[in-house]
Amino acid sequence: MSQPVISARQLTKTYGDFTAVAGIDFEVAPGESFGLLGPNGAGKSTTMRMVGAVSTRTSGELNILGLDPNDHGPDIRSQLGVVPQQDNLDQELRVRDNLLVYGRYFGLPRRLVAERADALLEFAQLTDRKKAKVDDLSGGMKRRLTIARALINEPRILLLDEPTTGLDPQARHILWDRLFRLKEQGTTLVLTTHYMDEAEQLCDRLVVVDKGSIMAEGSPASLIREYSSREVLEVRFGSDKNAEAAERMAGVGDRLEVLPDRILVYSENGEAALERITSLGLEPITSLVRRSSLEDVFLRLTGRSLIE
Amino acid sequence: MTTTTVRDDTARALAGGEAPRRWGAWYIAEHRIRAMKGYAGDALFQSFGNPLIYLFALGVGLASLVPQGVGDVSYLQFVAPALMATAAMTVTANETSYPIMMGFKWNPIFYGMNASPITGGQIVSGMMIHIALRAFVTVAIYFGIIVLFGAVPSALGWLSIGTATLTGMAIGVLISTYTSTIEEDRGQMAMLQRFGIMPLFLFSGTFFPLEQLPVWLQPIGWISPLWHGTEIGRVLTYGAAEPLWLTVTHVGYLATLFIVGLWATRKHFVRRLNK
C-alpha cells in the first residue's frame, strides 16, 4: 500500500466513563474507498468526527495527509469534504448560494467558487433547482446538494457519514452513481454505513465496527469468504416452531443461525441444504436461497443484526 | 487522475489553511450578510419604522406631559439617546437569541461551518461582525432621524452611533453566552425577553433619570449595560453633565462586558462543536 492519507493507531475517544472508540487501528490509501460498517452506536460517527479534525481524540495517534489534527485542524479540513449524517445546509439560503458561501470558507476567490458551483450543480443534477429554497428540495436532492457542497474545495478526501440513510431506493441509487463517479476520478472516499449493500457497492475495503472496536477488516468479498459460506438458505417455519425445527436440522449446512423469525442455514449449496431439510420431513412455510452478504458477516462476528 | 504523494497533500493542506486562518471570521460575516437577502426588507423597515413610532409616542406624545423637560433639556432630547441604545439592544438581542439556537439545532449551519477550515471561535467572531454591522446601520438610521427631530444639539452627537452599537454588542454577547449553551427549547427565549430585556428597557434610566427610582432599585441601573450606554449617549448628544471618570467607567464597563461575553461565547461554541 502506498503511503496512507489517513493513519490511526490505538485511536480512542471517551466521554466520561463511556468509551465511544476503543483503540482502533486503520489506514486508508490514496484513492481508496474505505468503509466503516457497523450498527448505530458502534462509534463510526465519532471516528469520522476525529478523522474530520473536529473532535479531539482522547488518546492514540491520528495522522491525516501527513498532519496531526490536534495541531493542524484548519489545514487538514481545507482538504476534506464532509457529508454529515444530518444535513446542515443553510435553509435560509437558496441552493446555489449554499455552495457560494461554503466555497468562500476555504478562502477561494468568488469567481472560482461561482464556476465550481455551477459545475457541481450539474454533477448533482440540481441545475434546474439552483434558485430553489433548500426546504423545497426532496431528501435525495438535499443529500446531493450536501455532496456538491463537500466537493467545492476539490477535496483530497471525502468523508460520508451514513450518506443514504433515510433515502428511498431510487434516490440511493442516484447517489451511489455520483459517488461511484468520484471514486473513478480518484477521490479518496471514507464512508460509514449500516447498509451492507451500500458497503458492498462502494467500498474497496472496510472494517466491521462494533462497540467502538474493529471486529474484522478486508474487502467485502474477502470478509464474506472468511466469515460466511457462499450461500445462505433462509427458512421459516413460523415463529413458535423455528427453534424446534432448528434442533432437528442440526448438521445441515456448515452452520445454523436461529433468528426470531427465521433460520439461516450457511452452506456452499443452498438448494442441496433445502433438499436435506425436506428429506428430514420438515416443511418450511417459505424458503429462500441467496448469496452471503456482509449482514451475515456481521451476524457471525457479533451475534447481532446490523439493523436492530 | 493526477498522482500526488502525501507530501504534496501536506503542502497543499498547509497552504489551504492559510487564508481561512486569517480571514475565516469575515467569510462567516459574508455568509450572514448574504442570508439577509431573505429579510433585508423587514430589517430596513424596522430600522426606519421603530424610531419613528417611538419618537412620536415618547418624544412628542409623552413629552407633552413633561413640558419642563428633564434638567436643562427637552424630554425628547433626554429620551432620544436612550432609544438609540435600546434600538441597538433590540437588534443584537434578536440576532443572538434564536439565530444562535437555530445554528446548533433547527438550521445547524454551525456544524457545517466547523467542518470547513473555519474554527468555532471564528464562527462566533463572524456572527458578531455581522450583528455589529446590523446594529451600527440601525443606530445610524436612528441617529439621522433623531437629528431631523432636532434632538441632537451637540457636535459630538455622532459618536453616540458607536457607543450605542457597543452597548448593543455588550448585551448581545451576554445573551449569546447563554443561548450557545441551550440544548432544548423550553421557552427560554420568551423568559429572556420578559425577565431580561424588558426590565433592562424599563429600569435603565430610559424614560426617567435613574435617581428617580428608590435607592434599592438603582443598582439594577448600575449593572445594566443599557444604562451605561444611555448615559454616554446623553453626554455625547446634549452634553449631559457628568464627571469624566464616570464616562470612562461607562465605556470601560461596556468594553469589559463585550470582551468577557465574546470570550465565553467562543469557548461555548468550541466546546459544543468539537465534542
Domain housing B262: 25-273
Nearest CA-CA distance, residue B167 and chain A, Å: 28
Q: Is residue B10 part of a domain?
A: no
A80-83 sheet: strands from edge to edge: A80-83, A157-161, A188-193, A33-37, A205-210, A213-218
Neighboring chain A residues of B107 at a CB cutoff of 8 Å: 90-92
A18-28 sheet: strands from edge to edge: A18-28, A6-15, A59-64
Fold of A6-224: Rossmann fold (3.40.50)
Q: What percent of chain A lies above the pLDDT cut of 90?
A: 71
ipTM for the whole complex = 0.89
Q: Is residue B5 part of a domain?
A: no
Size (chain A), residues: 308
Q: Please list the alpha-helical segments (H only) found in B40-74.
A: 40-54
Question: What pLDDT, on a 0 to 100 scale, did the predictor assign at position B1?
Answer: 45
* pLDDT, tens digit (0-9, with 9 covering 90-100), for A111-131: 999 999 999 999 999 999 999
In degrees, to the nearest 5, what angle opens at C-alpha B6 toward C-alphas B1 and B8? 75
Give CA–CA dist B181/B176, Å, rounded.
8
* pLDDT, tens digit (0-9, with 9 covering 90-100), for B208-266: 998 888 888 888 889 999 999 999 999 999 999 899 999 999 999 999 999 999 999 99
Contact A77 B5 (CB under 8 A): no
Q: Please check the confidence at residue B147 and state whether its pLDDT lies above 90.
A: yes
Q: Is residue B4 part of a domain?
A: no
Neighboring chain B residues of A45 at a CB cutoff of 8 Å: none
* pLDDT, tens digit (0-9, with 9 covering 90-100), for B171-222: 999 999 999 999 998 999 889 988 888 888 888 988 899 888 888 888 888 9
Nearest Cα residue to A186 out of A33, A301, A11: A33
Q: Is residue B12 part of a domain?
A: no
Q: Which residue of B has its CA nearest to A58?
A: B275
Q: Is residue B11 part of a domain?
A: no
Nearest CA-CA distance, residue B42 and chain A, Å: 15
* pLDDT, tens digit (0-9, with 9 covering 90-100), for B61-102: 888 888 888 988 999 999 999 999 999 999 999 999 999 999
Give me the total of CB pairs closer than 8 Å, taking one residue from chain A and one from chain B: 130
Out of B9, B35, B108, closest to residue A5 by CB: B9
Q: Is residue B50 part of a domain?
A: yes
Contact A74 B109 (CB under 8 A): no
Nearest CA-CA distance, residue A181 and chain B, Å: 12
Residues of B with CB under 8 A from a CB of A: 1-2, 4-7, 9-10, 12-14, 16-21, 23-24, 27-28, 30-31, 34-35, 38, 107-109, 111-119, 273-275
Domain ranges of chain A: 6-224, 229-291
Neighboring chain A residues of B23 at a CB cutoff of 8 Å: 107
Selected residue of B9, B39, B119, B123 to mutate for chain A interface (largest A Cβ count, 10 A): B9
Give CA–CA dist A82/B179, Å, rounded.
26
Q: What percent of chain B lies above the pLDDT cut of 90?
A: 69
Fold of A229-291: Alpha-Beta Plaits (3.30.70)
Nearest Cα residue to A93 out of A147, A139, A161, A149: A149
- Give the residue-averaged pLDDT of A161-183: 86
Work out the burial of residue B142: count CB atoms within 10 Å of its CB; fewer than 13 is exposed, 13-18 middle, 19 or more buried. buried
Q: What percent of chain B lies above the pLDDT cut of 70?
A: 99
Q: Is residue B66 part of a domain?
A: yes
Instruction: State the greatest distance between any 2 C-alpha atoms of chain B, in Å, as a whole number.
Output: 83
The count of structural domains within chain B is: 1
Neighboring chain A residues of B35 at a CB cutoff of 8 Å: 90, 92-93
Contact A101 B31 (CB under 8 A): yes
Selected residue of B18, B22, B31, B98 to mutate for chain A interface (largest A Cβ count, 10 A): B31
What nine digits make up the cell of A141? 436532492
Contact B21 A97 (CB under 8 A): no
Residues of A with CB under 8 A from a CB of B: 3-5, 15, 30-31, 52, 54-56, 65-67, 72-80, 82, 84, 86, 88-93, 97, 100-102, 104-107, 149, 153, 156, 185-186
Nearest Cα residue to A102 out of B100, B31, B119, B127: B31
Cβ-Cβ contacts under 8 Å for B275 (sequence gap 6 or more): A15, A55
Work out the burial of residue B209: count CB atoms within 10 Å of its CB; fewer than 13 is exposed, 13-18 middle, 19 or more buried. middle
Neighboring chain A residues of B19 at a CB cutoff of 8 Å: 106-107
Contact A75 B119 (CB under 8 A): no
A263-267 sheet: strands from edge to edge: A255-258, A263-267, A231-236, A286-291
Nearest Cα residue to A271 out of A236, A232, A237: A232
